[in-house]
A and B are shown apart, each in its own frame.
Chain A
Amino acid sequence: MSSVDPMTPAGTASEAPAGIPGAVPASGNGHSDDEILVDIRHLKKYFPIQGGLLRRRIGQVYAVDDVSLEIRRGETLGLVGESGCGKTTLGRTVIRLLPATDGQVLFEGKDVASLEGRALKKMRRRMQIIFQDPVSSLNPRMPVSDIIGEGLLAQADHQNGWGKRSVRDKRVGDYLESVGLRREYSRRYPHEFSGGQRQRIGIARALALEPDFIVCDEPVSALDVSIQSQIINLLVDLRERFGLTYLFVAHNLSVIEYISDRVGVMYLGKLVELADVEELYRHPRHPYTIALLSAVPHPDPRIRKKRLVLAGDVPSPANPPSGCRFHTRCWLRERLGNPENCETIDPEFRDIGNGHRVACHWAEQITDAGVAELVPHLALARELRRQEALAAASAVAPQPAQEAPVSARPEEKVAVTASQEAATQLPEDGSVPPASEEPVPASDESARPMAEGSS
């Protein structure tokens, strides 16, 4: 009964590596075959704003505005952005939970929007979604067996025999086990479970239909930290076991960095940057991506950094700014002396090499050294600092020992050639990386002696 073999999805081209413990999850998975599973072309989704006595359309919200990207079979495409940027709408429109306003979504070459009737139903089975809120996405009046079984019943046919209760119940039990729950739980109701367990039920519901493609819509953001990593591990494990492709929508940049092969950044309905995960986190080239990375707090207390704080809020997607939508909050534009084209011309989403795409007129103005200064906790910045510390130490004394903090392990002294060249061509604003990692003195002036925890 613990066997998961019968659940290997039919029709999956690539052989799912059978859950090898410690198998490499993210990179290297599915990059070998570049088959495009989902091709999104100029997708638009506008929501009408109605008003007045006759509920006439008085405007529209440009939730997703001309987004093109492709998702390869077996990869995890991460999508980040702030609330209201359209990332959730994009996910839902891709699997046709919402009808698109314009543009196409090709699933294995077939236009999802043009499908109807049985063909659509067949397609739906192969594209599933996991929702953010594990409470509201499960019907409180249904036992787990019905929550998971409902989709099976809807998709029942002669071949799979899902119309029979016994077949369904067996399947529900199998999938509960594959998400780490006991099969007896199928008779319980949602309120009997914790948040993490409910999210597992949501995952089992998506999996039970043997999908190829799952939209994970903020699946861990409602969970506590310790539970969050359990669910992430589960999602990675299932991806390997069932050969799944994920569109992973989240606002947490470190979760995205961990789980994704490629990452897209959205702002006000547009994709502003798209690249392989390492490329994006090491060499971000859109000012908004850099601002996002800079805003993320980091657990290393020695980096009490001067943040790149974006002024103001995200503008309304009903009335987006002209030209580049980010220009109203853009720090780069300010540093460049407010060039005119930012306000007038919507930047093209262009390839700057290695499949790294950016929608910014001035992306070439950004250097790795400049990024390292603005986002001191990036791996790239750490390496630059480490090199500099080493250089300084070797110039003074032959022993570079006590200079570098905790982690100066020899195997980490990787040379970053790209960033070294970049350091020589700094922009005029003098973006020199900080001389060394200045550990914030534990007792600065404002600190007062304080003790806690008397017994």
Chain B
Amino acid sequence: MLNRRPAPVRQQPPQSSDGLLLDVRNLKTYFHVMDGVVKAVDGVDLRLAPGSTLGIVGESGSGKSVTALTMMRLLEIPPAEVADGEIWFDGRDLLTLTDEEMRGVRGNDIAMIFQEPMTSLNPVFTVGFQIAEAVRQHQHVSKKEAWNRAIEAVRLVGMSAPERRVKQYPHELSGGMRQRVMIAMALSSNPKLLIADEPTTALDVTIQAQILELIRDLQQRTDTALMLITHDLSVVAETVQHIAVMYAGRVVETGKVDDVLLSPQHPYTQGLLSSIPGEKKRGKELSAIKGVVPNPFRMPVGCKFQPRCPFQWSRCEEEPGLIEIGGPERRSRCWLQAPEETARREAYEVAAMATVADVVG
């Protein structure tokens, strides 16, 4: 089901990815559907150092999950098509690997957990069996040893009485416990990168707090790199070090989490922050981002956010690139950040500061 892109075999990245675990370059994933082509991911760049954490934030349809699924080569091709780009992981371009080689990466070097743990677990096998199976898939150990490792993994994710838990079936566990099992399974092969796609969206707040703490804790203890995909700015705020905000298939803002959340440099990020309700907003109208996410078949020209942007002006008809702010880590895809737009940028910053003060002040 996964085709191999007939790409030239490149053993080394053309430019330096030194010290990087993951270097996604200009990734484009399109879906060919009846009505045309949906450019779900349209030129995404992401970089991640070993052991570091990156949050990808965006609303539904922003392309954040498709980016992750493309990295894992889990999309069915066709209708999906990786139209362009490279995914350098640990010195290899994942897009050039054979299916066989990719199976060695998936689950082994890169593990993934999903939003709904019930659909990711097989209902007819015990959780211990499933973890042990995952262990044996990637490591050459005996059945007995794999079983022991499953118990160890279950203990590691903080479940009580692991010897008993491994004999239970998924339906006997609560949502939070199932997510723990998924994490146990994902980490059982000591991956270099863990991708967590909305891992707490289906969970209650108190359980969400448990799972986030677990992910944070394990990430630090095992030194696994983490890519956390979520729509919730508050979840990334306390879990990751760097963030990339996505909109309509593109990264629109990146930087350290403190910088992005405390001084957002893209109107979309500011809009997301300002739509978080809370005490300070009581009695005021919530500043909603007007309109809706653009129709994928009728993408606006130029900046994809311009029809919804309160700061839009004529220049937005032209597509902005990711403009550096201060350093290469901090970028925003907005003309406001162009050096010559001083006056407009100042006006924007006044609004952005007010937003930040309202949310975190």
Contact = CB atoms under 8 A, between A and B. Distances in A.
Asked whether A and B interact, the reply is yes
Interface stretch (A21-29, A35-43, A122-130, A421-429): A21-29
A238 interface: no
Interface in B203-253: 204-210, 212-213, 220, 231-235, 237-238, 241-242, 244, 251
Contacts of B286: 229, 232-233, 258
Nearest to B223: A446
A407 B357 contact: yes
Given A451-B47, A453-B46, A254 B278 contact: yes
Nearest to B268: A226
A377 B293 CA distance: 31
B242 A232 contact: no
Given A229-B275, A409-B357, A298 B209 contact: no
> Among B19, B205, B220, B359, which residue has the most Cβ atoms of chain A within 10 A?
B205
19 contacts: A27-B282, A27-B283, A224-B60, A225-B233, A226-B288, A226-B289, A233-B286, A233-B288, A258-B282, A291-B206, A298-B360, A299-B234, A310-B206, A310-B209, A313-B207, A407-B361, A442-B241, A446-B51, A455-B322
Contacts of A254: 276-278
A339 interface: no
Nearest to B329: A451
Nearest to B274: A229
B287 interface: yes
Contacts of B356: 406-407
A16 interface: no
Contact of A258 (B232, B237, B281): B281
Interface of B: 19-20, 23, 25, 45-52, 54, 59-60, 174, 176-177, 204-210, 212-213, 220, 231-235, 237-238, 241-242, 244, 251, 254, 256-259, 261-262, 271-273, 275-290, 292-293, 321-322, 328-329, 331, 353, 356-357, 359-361
Contacts of A61: none
A253 B46 contact: no
A251 interface: yes
Interface of A: 22, 24-27, 82-83, 194, 196, 224-230, 232-233, 236, 251, 253-255, 257-259, 277, 281, 291-292, 294-305, 307, 309-310, 313-314, 379, 382, 406-407, 409, 412, 439-440, 442, 446-455
A261 to B, nearest CB: 10
B288 A450 contact: no
Nearest to B243: A452
B359 A300 contact: yes
B61 to A, nearest CB: 8
Given A281-B279, A297-B238, 4 more contacts: A254-B277, A305-B238, A313-B174, A313-B177
Contact of B205 (A27, A232, A251, A281): A251
Contact of B237 (A224, A233, A294, A298): A298
A448 B244 contact: no
A422 B64 CA distance: 46
B278 A258 contact: yes
B238 to A, nearest CB: 5
Given A448-B50, A454-B47, A304 B238 contact: yes
Contact of A226 (B212, B272, B322): B272
A182 to B, nearest CB: 14
B120 to A, nearest CB: 19
B47 A452 contact: yes
Contacts of B52: 447-448, 450
A194 B272 CA distance: 19
A318 to B, nearest CB: 14
Instruction: List 6 A-B pairs, minimum CB-CB distance, nearest first.
Output: A407-B361, A258-B277, A300-B360, A297-B234, A295-B209, A229-B288
Contacts of B204: 82-83, 251, 314
Contacts of B177: 313
Contacts of A259: 277
> Among B174, B177, B273, which residue has the most Cβ atoms of chain A within 10 A?
B174
Contacts of A24: 283
Contacts of A310: 206, 209-210
Contacts of A194: 292
B48 A225 contact: no
Contacts of B51: 446, 448
Nearest to B295: A194
Contact of A297 (B231, B232, B242, B283): B232
Contact of B206 (A82, A224, A439, A449): A82
Nearest to B239: A297
Contact of B210 (A255, A309, A440): A309
A313 B180 CA distance: 13
Contacts of A305: 238
A239 to B, nearest CB: 13
A313 B159 CA distance: 11
A453 B288 contact: no
A244 B67 CA distance: 44
A12 B286 CA distance: 27
B77 to A, nearest CB: 26
Contacts of B20: 450
A227 B61 CA distance: 13
A210 to B, nearest CB: 25
Contacts of B328: 451, 453-454
A303 B242 contact: no
A257 B257 contact: no
A299 B261 contact: yes
B357 A406 contact: yes
> Among A24, A229, A281, which residue has the most Cβ atoms of chain B within 10 A?
A229
Contacts of B283: 24-27
Given A194-B292, A251-B205, A296-B205, A228 B278 contact: no
Given A229-B287, A450-B52, A455 B276 contact: no
Contacts of A439: 258
